[in-house]
Amino acid sequence: MKCEADGCYNYTNLTNANRNRNYDTPLHGPSLCDDKLIEGWHRFVGDAGTKMPTTSVLAFKCGTDRPGWLNGAHPTVEDGKVKRKVCFSDLSMDCRSDINIVVKNCGSFYIYYLHETPNCSWRYCGTN
């Protein structure tokens, strides 16, 4: 992972309301995904929420089939950049699939070093 730069000053905002954990994926609508997400630092803002959830998210939320949530606590400022897993829920809500990311606490917000997901039905979720 190439995340040497301090992402607190250089990140991409994730703002869409359909990325929030409370958003119901339309039954017959398209399933949104992050398989073409540009690798780099990202921040959840606005209707997407302010951070990634740290508890499992129901399948068919966040505008996708397999919503992603942070498996572990958010770091403190003193922790610096930490490695974490993002789990992607299925109907069992277990952590059946996961990928590694990096998380950083920038004081008043969190940033996440994300890369594209291996499957189109996977998407990173936000919460308040």
pLDDT tens-place values along the chain, 128 residues long? 455 567 899 999 999 999 999 999 998 878 899 999 999 999 999 999 999 999 999 999 999 999 999 999 999 999 999 999 999 998 877 787 899 999 999 999 999 999 999 988 899 999 99
Q: d(Cα 46, Cα 63) in Å, to the nearest integer?
A: 16
Question: What's the gap between Cα 65 and its chain centre?
Answer: 14
Contacts of 27 (CB under 8 A, 6+ apart): none
Torsional sign, CA 29, 33, 36, 38: positive
Give pTM, 2 decimals: 0.92
Q: d(Cα 14, Cα 31) in Å, to the nearest integer?
A: 17
